[in-house]
């Protein structure tokens, strides 16, 4: 696949991700999580992008999606969670875009809800095991929407990238279009 096609997919995906984030169709019906997977999978392996540029792009996407965070724990939860995803995503085979997306949604659900339970100032959930379970149970509808949106986009991007449902071609992106 050409470098131009990869960049066009990135730009289109980021635009869709930001539109879904701002015009909330359903709670957590978003593709921001998938876009982090896409950035780390496709752009990270290219010689044209240095690590610093990759992380700059990830931070820029987060600021565009969530705004500049206020300095309290609850507002920093998405930034911390996506940071964990970006740092750990390379444990999975780069060809398995679908599995990477599933992993990222699971990590987002587990980490963000744990951090919310731990740091939320409104005392919605007691700081007990029962409170943690209640926090996770209350977030299940959001998980469903996030899984549907991110896994659907994962399949669509995989088809566009290489005509295969669950894999990204291992060929390097050529310099020319």
CA 177 from chain centre, in angstroms, equals 27
How distant, in Å, are the alpha carbons of 29, 31, 108 from that of 25?
Answer: 6, 12, 20
| Residue 41 and residue 94 in contact, taking contact as beta carbons nearer than 8 Å | yes
The predicted pLDDT at position 54 comes to 65
**What is residue 69's DSSP assignment?**
P
Residue found under tokens 């809800």 = 113
Q: Which of 18-22, 36-40, 130-134 has the highest mean pLDDT?
A: 130-134
Higher pLDDT, 37 or 95: 37
Please check whether residue 151 is in contact with residue 144, taking contact to mean a CB–CB distance below 8 angstroms.
no
Residues 6 or more apart from 52 whose CB is under 8 A from it?
A: none
Tell me the pLDDT tens digit for each residue of 66-112: 777 677 778 889 888 988 888 888 777 767 888 899 999 999 999 99
What does the block give as tokens for 120?
A: 């939320």
Q: Yes or no: say if 38 and 100 are a contact pair by the CB < 8 Å rule.
A: no
Task: Write the pLDDT tens digit of every residue in 125-177.
Answer: 999 999 999 999 999 999 999 999 999 988 888 787 766 555 555 545 444 44
Bridge partners of residue 2, in order along the sequence: 174
Are 108 and 65 a contacting pair, CB within 8 Å?
Answer: no
Higher pLDDT: 56 or 103? It is: 103
CA dihedral sign of residues 29, 34, 39, 42:
negative
pLDDT at 55 over 80: no
As a whole number of angstroms, the distance between CA 98 and CA 84 comes to 18
Return the minimum-mean-pLDDT range out of 64-68, 114-118, 120-124.
64-68
pLDDT at 137: 97
Torsion over CA of 65, 68, 74 and 78, rounded to 10 degrees? 40
Main-chain phi, psi angles of 172, to 5 degrees = -70, 150
């Amino acid at each position: 696949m050409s470098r131009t096609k990869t960049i066009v997919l990135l730009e289109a995906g980021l635009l869709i991700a930001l539109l879904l984030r701002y015009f909330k169709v359903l709670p957590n019906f978003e593709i921001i999580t998938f876009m982090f997977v896409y950035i780390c999978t496709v752009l990270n392996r290219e010689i044209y992008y240095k690590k610093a540029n990759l992380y700059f792009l990830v931070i820029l996407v987060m600021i565009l999606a969530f705004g500049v965070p206020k300095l309290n724990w609850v507002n920093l939860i998405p930034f911390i969670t996506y940071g964990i995803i970006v740092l750990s995503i390379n444990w999975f085979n780069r060809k398995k875009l679908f599995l990477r997306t599933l992993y990222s949604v699971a990590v987002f659900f587990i980490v963000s809800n744990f951090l919310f339970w731990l740091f939320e100032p409104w005392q919605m959930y007691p700081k007990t095991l029962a409170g943690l379970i209640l926090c996770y149970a209350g977030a299940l509808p959001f998980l469903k929407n996030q899984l549907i949106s991110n896994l659907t986009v994962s399949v669509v991007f995989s088809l566009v990238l290489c005509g295969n449902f669950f894999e990204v071609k291992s060929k390097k992106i050529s310099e020319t279009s």
